[in-house]
Chain A
Amino acid sequence: MELDAFKVAVDAWLDEHERELACDYEGVGTLDQQVAQLRKVMGMAYAAGFMRMGWPERAGGLGGSNLLRAYLGEVLTARDLVEAGIYSLPEVLAPTMIDYAPEALAAEMVPKLLSGDEIWCQGFSEPGTGSNLGSLACRATHTDAGWRINGQKVWTSLAQYAQRCVLLTRTGTPESAHRGITAMFIDMDSPGITVRPIESMHGAEEFCEVFYDDVVVPLDRVLGEVDGGWSIAMDLLPYERSTALWHRASYLHRRLGQLVSAAAAGTLDPTAVGEATQLLWAFRARSRATQRRLAAGETLGSETSIDKVLVATAEQAIFDLVAEGLGPDVATGDDPVSARWRAEFLYSRAATIYGGSAEIQRNIIARRLLGLGDDR
C-alpha cells in the first residue's frame, strides 16, 4: 500500500474506532495504564492490519515501506493514543530480530511483539557501562546445556512487563572489548532473572535493574554470530534514531501546540518560542529525509546522530518553555493535566542522556562525520 492510501485508510479507521481506542484515564496515567493502553492500541491496529504494514512478510508483516510505520506511530502519537517512547521500542527490537535471529525464530516471535501480545526489552546498559558500551561485563559462558548468564543490567525499559529481552553479553575475555560481545534473545521467565524497577525522577518505574544469576539460555537463541554482538548494536543504533524519533517529533508537536494555546499571555518569551519552533521544524525536516532514505533502501549510519542531537535539543527547548509558561502548574498543580506537564517536563531532562548521551553523539559526529580522528 502506498503512503497516501495508507494515510487515508488509517485516518478513517482511527475516526471509526475513536471511542474504543481512546485512553480510559486522564493525564499521564500510571505506567500500568500506559502499558495496557499501548497493548490495546497495538492489538487493534495489528488486527486491522495497519500494525503489520511496513514490516517484512517473513516476520509476519504485510510488507511495504517503513514510511507506513513512521506514519502510523506519528498519527497514534498525534491523537494521544499511545505514549511515543514505549510505542517505539519495537522500532529497534523488531529490526534486530528480523536481521539477526534465525528465520524461524523471527517469524514466530516478531508478530507477538507487533500485536502487543508481548512486551520486549533491551538489555544493553550496565551499572559500569553507560556511554562506553564496549566495556559491558554481563558474562555468558558456553556450557553443554546452553549459555549460562551471570551479571546485571540497568536502565532496561519495561523489564517488569517484558516476556523477552534482547541481551548483550560478554562472551570474550574482559579485555576483548567490542570484539567479545554476543547478542541473545532471552525469555524473561527463565529461572534466575530478577527484575527490580527503579523509580525515576518523573515518577514512573519505567526503567529497571535486571539481575541474571546462572540463567541458562538455549544455544539457538544467539542473534548473529558469537562474539559478533557489537556489530548488531552498531547496526541497530541508527534505527533508534530514525522512525522512533519521527514518532517523538509528533509527540513534541502536540505538546508545543498545547503549550502555546494554554500559556497565559505574556508568560512566554516570543524569541524562545520562535527558536523552539524552528528547531522542531528543522528536526522534522531532517527526520523526514531520514525516513525517505530508509525507504529508498539506504543504510543508515552515523549521520543519524545529528537527528538525535536535534530532537533532544528541541525537546528540552520545548519543555524549558513549559516550565516557564506553565510554571505554576508544573510546580504546584495537583490536577491530572498539571501532573502530566510536570512528569513530561522531568522526563525531558533525560532526552540528552538516554539512547547515547548528547556528548556521545557529538563524539560520533566529530569522529565519523567530521573526520577529526582519535580523541586521544
Chain B
Amino acid sequence: MEASELELFRRGIRHATETCGDEALDAALDELGWRDALVADRNTAVSLLFEAQGSTVVDSSALDWLLAAALGGQDGGRTSVVLPLLRRAAPPGRVSAGRCEVHGLGTRTVARVDETVVVAEADGGPVAFTVKASSLELRPVRGLDPALGIVEVTGDLNAAAGRPVDWEAAASVGQLAVGHELVGLARAMLELARQHALDRVQFGRPISSFQAIRHRLAESLVAVEAADGLLAAAWEDPSPVMAAMAKGLAGRSARAVARHAQQVLAGIGFTTEHPLHRYVRRTIVIDQLLGASSVLTRQLGEDVLERGTLPPTLPL
C-alpha cells in the first residue's frame, strides 16, 4: 500500500474497532475493503486489524475469513472455519472408515453463517469439507471470556467430498493473526497500567515514581516489543516454525504483561468496574487458540533437541 493509503486504512481499522461492537464490525470491515486488502497485502491487513481487535477487546469474523482464504475456499466470505480445541494446532477433524469425526471450536461466526469448513486429518494428509452449519452440533461456551462467544463444535460427517488442503500454511497465518491480537491486548494492558501508575498517589507521590512499579512496566514493554518484532520478522521469512515461534512468544509476553498490569492496577484492576479483566480473560483464552504458548514453546525446544540444530537464522 502507498503511505497515504496505508494511513487511511490504519485509521479506518482503528475507528471501526473502537466504535463497532462485535456484531457491527464485520460490516465495517467490508466497507473498509479489508478482504480486498487481505488479498493485496496480507501482512498489513492482518497485523493492523488483529492488533486493533486486541487493543479494544472486540472480535470479528476476520479469523474465519483469513483461514478460509488460506484454505483456498471460494465462498465470498460466507464461511466460517472450525478451529482446533484449545492448546492444539492440529486439524479439528479426523477421517477414518469413510466418516469424519469433528471436535473443535468455532468463533461466533459459525453460528451466523450457513456453511462451515472443517479440516480433518486423513491418511493422505489434511482434507477440507465444506458443510452446512446445521450438520454440526454447536454448544455455546461461556467459560472465562463469555464476551468472545466461542462455541464447541462436534459432528460426525460423511467423509466423501474432502479436498486436500495445506492446513499447516493456513494455521501458520492464523497463528500470526492471533499473535498480533495478543500484542494488541498486551499493549492495551500496559497502557492501562501505565496510566494508573501516573494517576494513583500513595505516600504523597504517584506510584509511577516507585522503581518496583517502573521496572514491571519496563519489563512489560520489553515483552511487547520482543513479540511484535518477532511477528514482523515472521511475515518476512514465513515458515511454520517462525509462525509458531512468534505466536508462542506473543502468548508468553501477553501473559507476562497481564500479570504485571494486574499487580500495578491492584485493587481497581480486580473489579469489573475497570476494563482490565476483559483483557486478562481474552488473553488467557486466545493464547490457547491454534497452539498455546506453553505447547508451542515446548514443541520448539523438543524439535531443536531432537534435530540437534537450530531453526534457520534471520538473515541481515
Residues of A whose CB lies within 8 Å of any CB of B are 3, 7, 67, 70-71, 74, 246, 253, 256-257, 260-261, 263, 265, 268-275, 277-279, 281-286, 288-289, 291, 306, 309-310, 313, 359, 361-363, 365-367, 369-376
Contacts and interface: CB of A to CB of B under 8 A. Distances in A.
Interface residues of B, number: 45
Interface string B195-231: 0011000000010111101110111011001110110
A366 B218 contact: yes
Interface of B: 194, 197-198, 206, 208-211, 213-215, 217-219, 221-222, 225-227, 229-230, 232-233, 242, 245, 248-249, 252, 294, 296-302, 304-305, 308-311, 313-314, 316
B226 A71 contact: no
A232 to B, nearest CB: 25
A367 B242 CA distance: 33
B308 A261 contact: yes
Contact of B214 (A272, A313, A366): A366
A306 B304 contact: no
A279 B215 contact: no
A284 B237 CA distance: 13
A111 to B, nearest CB: 25
Nearest to A268: B305
6 contacts: A271-B298, A271-B301, A278-B230, A278-B252, A284-B314, A372-B209
Contacts of A70: 316
Contacts of B232: 285, 289
B225 A362 contact: no
Contact of A278 (B210, B221, B249): B249
A257 B222 CA distance: 25
A277 B213 CA distance: 28
A272 B301 CA distance: 7
Contacts of B206: 373
A310 B249 CA distance: 13
A288 B232 CA distance: 11
A277 B310 contact: yes
A362 B233 contact: no
What 6 pairs between A and B have smallest CB-CB spacing? A270-B301, A274-B301, A273-B301, A285-B233, A366-B214, A274-B297
B233 A270 contact: no
A74 B221 contact: no
Given A277-B311, A313-B222, 13 more contacts: A70-B316, A253-B310, A270-B302, A274-B296, A277-B300, A279-B226, A281-B311, A284-B233, A362-B215, A369-B221, A370-B214, A372-B213, A375-B209
A117 B232 CA distance: 41
A127 B149 CA distance: 61
B294 to A, nearest CB: 7
A174 B225 CA distance: 39
A281 B209 contact: no
B215 A288 contact: no
B198 A375 contact: no
A369 B298 CA distance: 32
Contacts of A375: 209-211, 214
A260 B310 contact: yes
A366 B215 contact: yes
